[in-house]
Chains A and B, each alone.
Chain A
Amino acid sequence: MASKFGLAGGIPERRVRPIWDAIDSRQFKNALKLLTSLLSKYPKSPYALALKALIHERMGKPDEALTVCLDAKELLYKDDSSLMDDLTLSTLQIVFQRLDHLDLATGCYAHACGRFPNNLELMMGLFNCYVREYSFVKQQQTAIKMYKLAGEERFLLWAVCSIQLQVLCDKSGEKLLLLAEGLLKKHIASHSMHEPEALMVYISLLEQQSKYNDALQVLSGNLGSLLVIEVDKLRIQGRLLARARDYSAAVDVYKKILELSPDDWECFLQYLGCLFEDDSVWKLFDDTDQIHPIKNIECKFSHLTEEMFDSRISSASELVQKLQRDTENSNLRGPHLAAIEIEKRKFLYGKKNESELLKSLLQYFLKFGHLACYASDVEAFLQVLPPHKKAEFVGMLVKNADSVSESATVVLGQTTTILKVQELTGNIFELPLGEIEASTVKLAKLYCQNLPLSKDLDPQESMFGEELLSLISNMLVQLFWRTRDFCYLAEAIMVLEFGLSIRGHVWQYKILLLHIYSYIGALPLAFQRYKALDVKNILTETVSHHILRQMLESPMWVDLSNLLQDYLKFMDDHLKESADLTFLAYRHRNYSKVIEFVLFKQRLQQSNQYEAVRVEASLLQLKQSADSIEEEERVLENLKSGVQLVELSNEMGSRTLRFNEDMETRPWWTPCPEKNYLLGSFEDFSYCPKENVNKDREENVRRAIQRKSLVPRMIYLSIQCSATALKESLETNGSGGDIKTCVELKSLLEEYTKTLGSSLSDAVDMITEISQGARPSESLGSDLVDWLNFAVFWNAWSLSSQEHWHVLNLLFEKLILDRIKSMGSSDMSSCYSDVQVLVQIITEPLAWHGLVIQACTRSSLPSGKKKKKAQHSDHLPSSPMSQAIKDSIHSLCSTVQEVSNWLLNQINNPEDDQVEKFLSTLKRNEDAGGPGQVLGVLESFITSSEESEVGSRIFEALKTWSKEDSARKTVMAQQSVLREFLQICESKKKLLEKLKQQMSHV
């Protein structure tokens, strides 16, 4: 075979090396020069050609690269004497992969393997090709061949993995598991087994078939010694026993683990599960869909008599007491938390032991209440308590914390904990305003008093009392919500900005600010805070929900486009490259990771956000180009006229959607992107914990993607309908559009209305009645923009009806003017949600309608020759439809003008005046209470603080912080949003003016 010593693809290594070096150092021109001389000597060498293709590809010439690659491939196939080594093939593979032609690479390897059936290296290359294509069946077949050839354990396990993947991903071939089991058994009988990972695969294979006892036998046999870490082995044993329902044996194993590792909480829960013969605990560990697992586990007791329950719970108590004794001198929390868990189980069983449960929580508080993790530790226990008991518990904490007079850090920690518990239980929303206000002042003072504690800390260390500022700001936002006094919100901004200047890395401050700024329309600042979180890689999947929705509803198209592109780039790249990494796991014989990793890739691929962003990225392009029908048509062409997105919409109903977003980091007032309590009133609010918001979102998200992915196609069809409509109406006075287009548009309209929860005819009634004032526009709810979109496409479908045009004009007028009226002269901070709606109306339905008009108008002009326009249009008689178009243009013009006027009115307000106004809200009357007190505390601390007390770093930060700066930045950010929006409106107006002129000749 070819690649012999010193030869690379039949060419001496020394001749090839400089070319690779040039490629590696990106000197492609040089590489090409060297290669040309090499090719002159080896004109028929597939390897040399493969290198040439690689250089072309790296130089950004994919077409040339593909041609050369195909030449090389042809040489390989044709010439029997040709060298067919892995090096040539793998070089070709790289290029084919980068050109998105995995199939061609696979073809080359398959061909080579056919020619040299006993070459292991080539077979490995072929296996790798199938890994890249996720062809599990082919992988299996290739691996089996390799196993037969070489008899190595690893190839057998590659085959077994491929079988498991078929079952897990393709949901097929369960019988194959039996085959895999047989192969492994046979191999073990003759060769035994040598790697821990192989054993893990064997066990998982048996588990997959529910053969728990067989798996247990394997584990306790000779092979079990492959697992060297004792606790690992015990954990598997416990799990298998539990799944085999051999609960008493499982209990013993779990006890053993707990004695070895008393703080293993997962093990303790499994111990309890087995003790009570209750398998619901496994749900907790099986549910991998949530980024954070469900906190509250169900408990089943109905199969136990009271006597059984009592005896078992008392044996659990004994164990826990023993664990507590054994770990007395360490600060392990597990055994103490276990004591609470036992009281919780009793409570859930119906033992009426509320007071013991509270007592155990209090005990835990006395021991660990000063730690930042207390609140999240006990969250799950608090959830089972009835509201009045939660309140009672808060009372107990307050009473007991006061009686403790320990070190400053303990007092600080406990105070913070109590507030966090109040937030968790919702108790904080039941307090009277005055009490909340007093509390914010008290906490601000506490924060300031304790700053000296952090004097000597490294800047990256967590500060004492850091969380207090987040808690204060949360309360201030609540005060704003309940009083609608903007000062509280302004104060919350100041508190957080103050905190950030002292500790620039605190992510909580950034996230809270991001959401407050978003609410008041200071979006550029919100985006800045988001960027400061340094969100990248997989975090774009888990964290970008904080900003994505606001950006989608904003006029900040440049930043939005970057946000969408960054996210898509990460996801696309990962999905493209992950297969290479899968092979890494195969090569390192980490079989269980192969499976995890392939499933992980699937999880990302099914991400709801990924689907949504792909649709939004297309829509953004359409929005950006809507003022020019020619540009829009180019965008549509790239989108394949929206056909693929329609397919996506059709598939949406049956697709699995995964929710990888981390919602726990969101502030209380917006637990998920679709909800913002601040937009409603406090009176309608009922507190609900943040848990599982993703579950509720699923249906809405699915429908939204379904609906939005229809839009590009509907735009395309509307343009098609309009292109012929006016001409036809002028000529025949009949209804326009070609039949096929109309039929398709109608069916999409039906689909679209379905996602709005309505039939087509009901939807038409709805918009007609709203336009006539027979129904309030509020009945459109939060889908208002989507309804307007519907109205636009419905009109495009039936252009000949003047009445439809009229309905649409009225709708635009009504919905836009209603908003302007309600905004009146109030400033942006209090009406940004209205601005957001206006932005969407103008940039979506109104823009699409603009395209319809552009298409109609264009068709009335002679093609390409504008000079002849006047002449030509002289021949055209006016028709009812052209009158309808004119009316519509006129109506839109004046409506958009109203929006521009409102914006100008806001923008012309001098910046200094606005800053002054912002700051004046923060001034307060001495001793009068009300907002501004917290800021007062912080300001007086700044003036009185001394460098020796707080250290130079904090001192510096205190002196450089300025509320004027914060106020000005906020105002400027709001202004910039307004200006961006005004620009869009002006551009729409210009377009409408142009159309008006064009139509004046018709």
Chain B
Amino acid sequence: MVCIRRATVDDLLAMQACNLMCLPENYQMKYYLYHILSWPQLLYVAEDYNGRIVGYVLAKMEEESNECHGHITSLAVLRTHRKLGLATKLMTAAQAAMEQVYGAEYVSLHVRRSNRAAFNLYTETLGYQINDVEAKYYADGEDAYDMRKNLKGKQIHQHHSAGHAHHHHGGGCCSADAKPVETTTQAEATSSK
């Protein structure tokens, strides 16, 4: 670990630098901001001994379904810092926050079929199971495993979903203009070109 701590908005600079060295992602910056401004409790960074960000996890809560659940959007660890258990720790921290802060019942994620290293991490170390296969989920046509893990769902704090209903053309903060969820999930963190 080093220090697994909550991400701040300023960390964004180093987090994206992490992508440069790690995996090319196609996320818009808005997408990161959307996460950190909406579910700041679910973003963790791994900070190394010299203060450098060497990994991060980006996650969100799915609000529309009946069952309240979390979703891991992106997980990245620098190549120089792999095999140190950082990914596991980042995931554990995010999962714990989903459960404790938001009372999530389960957590889901997508992983490329070909990404064996990540698949092993999720199944063997973290206890995820395949829920479904999503054909041609990624922009390049590769399939994704839709994976899930049950959480205890112990609800400590009432999570407040967006305070008032917005007409979908209304405000522009969470609606039409900034709705990156649909447009960018295709470019999952696990891709590489």
> Cβ of B21: which chain A residues have Cβ within 8 Å of it?
507, 665
Q: Given contacts A229-B97, A265-B49, A462-B82, is CB(A538)–CB(B16) below 8 Å?
A: yes
Q: How far does the alpha carbon of A194 sit from the alpha carbon of B12 in the complex, in Å?
A: 29
Q: Which among B20, B40, B163 has the greatest number of chain A C-beta atoms within 10 A?
A: B20
Q: Which residue of A266, A461, A590, A665 contacts B40 across the interface (Cβ within 8 Å)?
A: A590
* A245-298 CB contacts (< 8 Å) to partner B: 261, 263-267, 284, 288, 291-295
Of the candidates B34, B80, B177, B192, the one having the most CB atoms from chain A within 10 angstroms of its own CB is: B80
CA distance A261 to B93 in the complex (A): 12
Chain A residues whose CB sits within 8 angstroms of the CB of B39 once the complex forms: 588
Q: Which residues of B contact A87 (CB under 8 A)?
A: 167, 170
Contacts of A583 in B (CB 8 A): 171, 173
Across the interface, do A543 and B20 meet the contact criterion of CB distance under 8 Å? Answer: yes
CB pair B163 A581 closer than 8 Å: no
Knowing A229-B97, A584-B178 touch, does A373 contact B84 (C-beta < 8 A)? yes
How close is B156's CB to chain A, nearest CB, in angstroms? 5
A463, closest chain B residue (CB): B79
Check if A337 is an interface residue, CB within 8 A of chain B. yes
CA distance A379 to B80 in the complex (A): 15
Q: Contacts A462-B82, A505-B192 hold; do A228 and B157 have CB atoms under 8 A apart? A: yes
| Per-residue contact bits, chain B 103-136, to A (CB 8 Å; 1 contact, 0 not) | 0000000000011110000000000000000000
CB distance from B80 to the nearest CB of A (A): 4
Q: Does B33 contact A (CB under 8 A)?
A: yes
User: Quick one: which of B21, B50, B174, B193 has the most chain A CB within 10 A?
Assistant: B50
Given contacts A458-B117, A542-B13, A600-B9, contact A292 B51 (CB under 8 A): yes
Contact A597 B9 (CB under 8 A): yes
Contact at B33–A597, with CB atoms within 8 Å? yes
Distance in angstroms between the alpha carbons of A505 and B13 in the assembled complex: 21
As a 0/1 sequence over residues 29 to 64 of chain B, the CB contacts with chain A under 8 angstroms (1 = contact) are 110011011111000000111111010000000000
Are A267 and B3 within 8 A (Cβ)? Answer: yes
B17 within 8 A of A: yes
A333 adjacent to chain B (CB < 8 Å): yes
Measured in the bound complex, the distance between the Cα atoms of B85 and A334 in whole Å is 13
**B38 and A590: CB pair below 8 A?**
yes
Residue among A229, A334, A458, A588 facing the most chain B CB atoms (10 A cut-off): A588
Chain B residues with CB below 8 A from A570, complex form: 29
B96 within 8 A of A: yes
A773 to chain B, nearest CB (A): 50
A288 touches B16 (CB 8 A): no
- Closest residue of chain A to B8 (Cβ to Cβ) is A596
Chain A residue nearest to B167 (CB atoms) is: A87
A662 to B115, CA, bound (A): 30
- Say which residue of B23, B49, B193 sits within 8 Å of A377 (CB atoms): B49
A265 touches B2 (CB 8 A): yes
Q: Are B9 and A593 in contact (CB under 8 A)?
A: yes
Interface 1/0s, chain A 432-471, versus B by CB < 8 A? Answer: 0000000000000000000000000011111000100000
Are the CB atoms of B16 and A539 closer together than 8 Å?
A: yes
A582 to B171, CA, bound (A): 12
Minimum Cβ distance to chain B for residue A6 (Å): 13
A293 to B51, CA, bound (A): 6
CB–CB B101/A228 < 8 A: yes
Contact in complex: A542, B50 (CB < 8 Å): no
Least CB separation from B33: chain A residue? A581
**Does B173 contact A587, Cβ atoms closer than 8 Å?**
yes
B73 on the A face (CB < 8 A): no
Interface flag for A872 (CB, 8 Å): no
Q: Residues of B contacting A264 with CB < 8 Å?
A: 1, 3
A128 interfacial by beta-carbon distance below 8 Å: yes
Known contacts A124-B164, A337-B49: A596-B157 contact under CB 8 Å: no
On whether the beta carbons of A542 and B16 are closer than 8 Å, the reply is yes
Which residues of chain A are near B27, meaning CB under 8 Å? 537
Could you tell me the distance between the alpha carbons of A292 and B171 in the complex, rounded to whole angstroms?
36
User: How many of chain A's residues have a CB under 8 angstroms from any CB in B?
Assistant: 87
Interchain CB contact under 8 A, B114 and A458: yes
- Count the B residues whose beta carbon is within 8 Å of the partner chain — how many? 69
Knowing A90-B170, A538-B16, the reply to whether A284 touches B51 (Cβ < 8 A) is yes
- Residue pairs across A and B with CB atoms within 8 Å: the count is 202
Are the C-beta atoms of B52 and A376 separated by less than 8 Å? Answer: yes
Which residues of chain A (532-549) have a CB below 8 Å from chain B? 533-535, 537-539, 541-543
Expressed in whole angstroms, the Cα–Cα distance for A574 and B178 within the complex equals: 12
B153 on the interface (CB 8 Å rule)?
no
Shortest distance from the beta carbon of A531 to any chain B beta carbon, whole Å: 12
> Does B5 touch A at the CB level, under 8 Å?
yes
Which of A128, A196, A537, A593 sits near B171, CB closer than 8 Å? A128
- In the complex, what residues of A have CB within 8 A of residue B29's CB? 537-538, 570, 574
Known interface pairs A90-B170, A577-B30, A584-B38. Does A460 touch B3 (Cβ–Cβ under 8 Å)? no
> How far is A288 from B51 in the complex, measured between Cα atoms in Å?
11
Which of chain A's residues 65-92 have a Cβ closer than 8 Å to chain B?
86-87, 90-91
Q: Which A residues are CB-close (under 8 A) to B81?
A: 372-373
Please measure, in the bound complex, the distance between the C-alpha atom of A578 and the C-alpha atom of B28, giving whole angstroms. 13
Bound Cα distance A334, B173 (Å): 41
Q: Which residues of A contact B96 (CB under 8 A)?
A: 229
For window 92-109 of A, CB contacts with B under 8 Å fall at 94, 97
Determine the distance from Cα of A461 to Cα of B112 in the docked complex, in whole angstroms: 14
Cβ contact of A372, chosen from B24, B38, B79, B117, cutoff 8 A: B79
**When A228-B156, A597-B9 are in contact, do A334 and B24 touch as well, CB less than 8 Å?**
no
**Nearest CB on A from B180, distance (A):** 11
B12 touches A538 (CB 8 A): yes
Residues of A within 8 A of B114 (CB): 458
Q: Which residues of B contact A284 (CB under 8 A)?
A: 51
A65 to B48, CA, bound (A): 52
A90 / chain B contacts, CB cutoff of 8 Å? 167, 169-172
Residue of B nearest to A541 (CB): B13
Q: Does B185 contact A (CB under 8 A)?
A: no
Contact indicator per residue, chain B 152-184, by CB within 8 Å of chain A (1) or not (0)? 000011101011100101111110111000000
Of the listed residues B10, B115, B173, the one surrounded by the most CB atoms of chain A closer than 10 A to its CB is B173
A840 contacts chain B at the CB level, 8 A cutoff: no
Residue in A267, A373, A588 whose CB lies within 8 Å of B48: A373
- Taking the nearest CB of chain A, how far is it from the CB of B99, in angstroms? 10
Q: Which of A1-27 contact B (CB under 8 A)?
A: 8, 20, 24
Is the CB of A178 closer than 8 A to any CB of chain B?
Answer: no
Is A292 a contact of B14 with CB atoms below 8 Å? yes
Q: Quote the shortest CB–CB distance from B171 to chain A (angstroms).
A: 6
A91-B16 CB under 8 A given contacts A379-B50, A587-B174: no
**Bound state CA distance, A533 and B33, in angstroms?**
22
Residues of B within 8 A of A665 (CB): 17, 20-21
Q: Assuming the A-B contacts A228-B101, A334-B1, A585-B37, are A288 and B173 also in contact, with contact meaning beta carbons closer than 8 angstroms in the complex?
A: no
A556 within 8 A of B: no
Q: Does B186 touch A at the CB level, under 8 Å? A: no
In this complex, what residue of B is CB-closest to A91?
B169
In the assembled complex, A154 has its CB within 8 A of some CB on chain B? yes
CB of B38 within 8 A of CB of A331, answer no
Flag if A462 contacts B79 (CB, 8 Å). Answer: yes
Contact of A265 with B3 at beta-carbon distance under 8 Å, contacts A229-B97, A458-B117, A462-B79 already known: yes
When the two chains form their complex, are residues A584 and B160 in contact, meaning their CB atoms are under 8 A apart?
no
Please, which residues of chain A bring their CB within 8 A of the CB of B6? 232
The residues of B that contact A578 with a CB separation of less than 8 Å are: 33
The reply to whether A600 and B12 form a contact with Cβ atoms under 8 Å apart is yes
Q: How far is the CB of B161 from chain A (nearest CB, A)?
A: 9
A-B residue pairs in contact (CB < 8 Å), sample of 15: A154-B163, A229-B100, A263-B2, A264-B3, A372-B81, A462-B80, A505-B193, A539-B20, A577-B177, A580-B172, A581-B173, A588-B160, A592-B40, A600-B9, A665-B20
What 7 A-B pairs are tightest by C-beta distance, nearest first?
A460-B192, A293-B51, A372-B80, A462-B79, A585-B37, A596-B9, A263-B1
What 11 new A-B contacts, CB under 8 Å, besides A458-B117, A462-B82, A589-B160? Answer: A265-B2, A265-B49, A337-B49, A373-B84, A458-B114, A542-B13, A581-B178, A584-B37, A587-B173, A590-B40, A662-B13
